[in-house]
Amino acid sequence: DNAAQDVGSTFADRPAVEARLRMVIAYTYVGLGQYASADSHAVAAIQSLSRVPNPDLNEQTVGHSLLGQIRYFEGEYDDAEEEFERALAIEQSRDDIDVPSVALGLSNLAFLKMRRGQYEEARVKFSQALACADEGLGPDDATSLDILGNMAMLDLRMERYEEAETVYKDVIARYRRVRGDEHPQTILFIANLGVVYLRQERFAQAEALFREALAAQERVIGPTHSQTLITMGSLAGSLAGQGRTDEAMGIIEEGLRRSIETYGVDEPSTIYLKVAQGRVLELSDQPERAYAQVAQTLAEGKKVLGPESDVCFDVWKRLFRLQEALGKDEAHLTAATDLVNSLGSLVGENDDRVQIGHLEMGEAYRALGRFDESERQLLLVHETGDSTARATAAAGLSALYKDWDRPEDAARYALTGTDDAPVTEGVVD
C-alpha cells in the first residue's frame, strides 16, 4: 500500500509511466477484490494519461475499460456504462481499428445491459461482439469464448435452460483446453453451469459443480473474492433444495462473515449472499422468515445496486411469491406498485420488468376484490406487452372475469391465454 501511494510523487514528471504503474496496481487490487483501492488508482491512471502529449490510444482504452469493470463490481452501473462507452468510442475513432478491442468493448456493454435486465439490447451487442471476435481472433480464442459464455448467461437469465446448458458445456470443454482447468474463467463457467442446474432444481448436480468451483476459487482467487462468495451462496441454495438446511445456513453465515469483514455491509457481494439466504429460508419451508429476509434484502439491494438491477428484480418476484403464499395482499399491491414506480421512470413503461409489475398489481387488486383496478392493469399489459406478457394478461383477465361473474368476457380471454401462462423470470447468480 505504501509503495502504491508513492507512485504519484515518484513519477509526477513522467505521467505515462505513472499511468502504466497505476493500472498494474489497479488490476492487482481487482484480483484481490479490493475495488475501492482499485478505483482510486484507475482514476489516477486516466488522469495521468490526460497529461501525456499524444497519449497511446490503447492505454486510454484499457484505462476506461478497467474503470468501467471496477465501477460495475462496485454496483455503480451508470458510471460503468459511461466508461465502457468511452473506451468503445476511442477504439472506433481510430484509423487502424483494433477488432479484438472493439469486440471486448461491445461485450462489456452487453454484459452490463444484461445485468440491468435489458436483455434484447444485450443480445444484439453480444452478437456484434462475437462476430468481431470470431473474425479477428478465431472461434477458439479466449475472448471469443468469454463472449460465448456471456451469451449463455443471457440464455440462463431468460430461462432458456437447454440452450444455456449446451453452450456452457461446450465453452467449459474448450476453455479447459485453451487456458486450463484452474483459470478463473474456466471456474466461473463451471459455477454458471451449476446455476443452470439449480434453476432446474437439479440440486445434486448443481451441488457437485458448485463444490468443484468453490474449491478452485478458494485456491486461485482467494476465499474473500466476490466470485467465491457468490458461489458460496449458490452452493447453499443447492443444499437447501436437498433438505440440508443447517449445512446451507452455515455456508451462508460464513460467506456473510467474510464479505462484511472484507467489503462491508452495503456492498454487492453482501447483498448477493443475503439474496441466497432468503432463498435458503424459502426452500426450507420457513415462509415468514423468508418473507422478512427478502423484504429487507430488497430495500438494501435497491440502495446498493439500484432498483433497475436484475438482482433486485429477482428479489421483487420472490417477494411477490411469498406475499401471495402468505395472503399478504395489501403488501403485494404495495410491492408491485413500488416496482412499477421505481423502474418505470428509469427504464420506461414498455420494459418487460415494468410490464410484470403491472401484472402483479392486477393480481393483487383481484385478490383484494378491487376488480376495476385489476382490469385496468391487466388490459394495459394486454394492449402494450409482448406476446408472453399478453398471454399472461389474458389468463389474468379470464380469471378476473370469472370472479367478477362475467362469463362471456372470461371465455373470450380464455381463447388467447391460459391460467398457467409463463412469466419471464430473472436469475440471481
Rounded to whole angstroms, the Cα distance separating 263 from 284 reads 28
364 lies in the same domain as 426: yes
Q: What is the pLDDT of residue 312?
A: 92
146 lies in the same domain as 210: no
Kindly give the confidence (pLDDT) of every residue in the chain, 429 residues in length, as a single tens digit, with 9 standing for 90 and above. Answer: 555 566 666 777 788 888 888 889 998 888 887 888 899 999 999 999 998 988 888 889 889 999 998 988 887 888 999 999 999 999 888 877 788 788 888 998 998 888 776 788 899 999 999 999 888 888 888 889 989 998 998 998 888 999 999 999 999 999 999 889 999 999 999 999 999 999 999 999 999 999 999 999 999 999 999 999 999 999 999 999 999 999 999 999 999 999 999 999 999 999 999 999 999 999 888 999 999 999 999 999 999 988 988 889 989 999 999 999 999 999 999 999 999 999 888 877 877 889 999 999 999 999 999 999 999 999 999 998 877 788 999 999 999 999 999 999 999 998 664 333 222 223 344
DSSP for 242-307, written as a single string: TT-HHHHHHHHHHHHHHHHHHT-SSSHHHHHHHHHHHHHHHHTT-HHHHHHHHHHHHHHHHHHT-T
Q: What is the pLDDT of residue 9?
A: 63
Which position has the grid cell 465501477? 71
144 lies in the same domain as 198: no
325 lies in the same domain as 419: yes
Whole-model pTM? 0.73
Q: Point out the domain boundary residue: 151, 180, 209.
A: 180
Spell out the residues 6+ positions from residue 143 whose beta carbon is closer than 8 angstroms to its own. Answer: 100, 103, 104, 107, 133, 137
Phi and psi based region of residue 97 (left: phi greater than 0; alpha: psi -120 to 50; beta: remaining): beta
70 lies in the same domain as 123: no
Is 326:295 a contact under the CB 8 Å cutoff? no
227 lies in the same domain as 332: no
Spell out the residues 6+ positions from residue 188 whose beta carbon is closer than 8 angstroms to its own. Answer: 149, 213, 227
Domain that includes residue 239, residue range: 190-285
The grid coordinates of residue 263 equal 467489503
Rounded to whole angstroms, the Cα distance separating 6 from 264 reads 27
231 lies in the same domain as 279: yes
323 lies in the same domain as 429: yes
In single-letter form, the type of residue at position 137 comes to: L
324 lies in the same domain as 410: yes
Residue 217: inside a domain, yes or no?
yes
CB-facing half-sphere around the CA of 179: CA atoms within 13 A: 18
The grid coordinates of residue 80 equal 460503468
89 lies in the same domain as 132: no
154 lies in the same domain as 196: no
Residue 10: inside a domain, yes or no?
yes
Q: What is the pLDDT of residue 422?
A: 23
Rounded to whole angstroms, the Cα distance separating 61 from 43 reads 13
Rounded to whole angstroms, the Cα distance separating 393 from 378 reads 5
Residue 259: inside a domain, yes or no?
yes
Is 196:154 a contact under the CB 8 Å cutoff? no
Residue 296: inside a domain, yes or no?
no
Q: What is the pLDDT of residue 188?
A: 94
Work out how many domains the chain is built from and give that number. 4
Rounded to whole angstroms, the Cα distance separating 251 from 235 reads 8
Phi and psi based region of residue 322 (left: phi greater than 0; alpha: psi -120 to 50; beta: remaining): alpha
Residue 314: inside a domain, yes or no?
no
- Write down the H helix ranges in 12-52: 15-32, 35-49
Residue 292: inside a domain, yes or no?
no
Residue 135: inside a domain, yes or no?
yes
Rounded to whole angstroms, the Cα distance separating 367 from 6 reads 64
Rounded to whole angstroms, the Cα distance separating 57 from 217 reads 34
The grid coordinates of residue 317 equal 418476484
107 lies in the same domain as 83: no
Q: Point out the domain boundary residue: 180, 199, 216.
A: 180
Q: Point out the domain boundary residue: 45, 69, 94.
A: 94
| CATH classification of the domain holding 362 | 1.25.40.10
The grid coordinates of residue 252 equal 451462508
Per-residue burial over 248-282, b = 16 or more CB atoms within 10 Å of its CB, e = otherwise = bbebbeebbebbeebbeeebbbbbbbbbbbbbbbb
Residue 331: inside a domain, yes or no?
yes
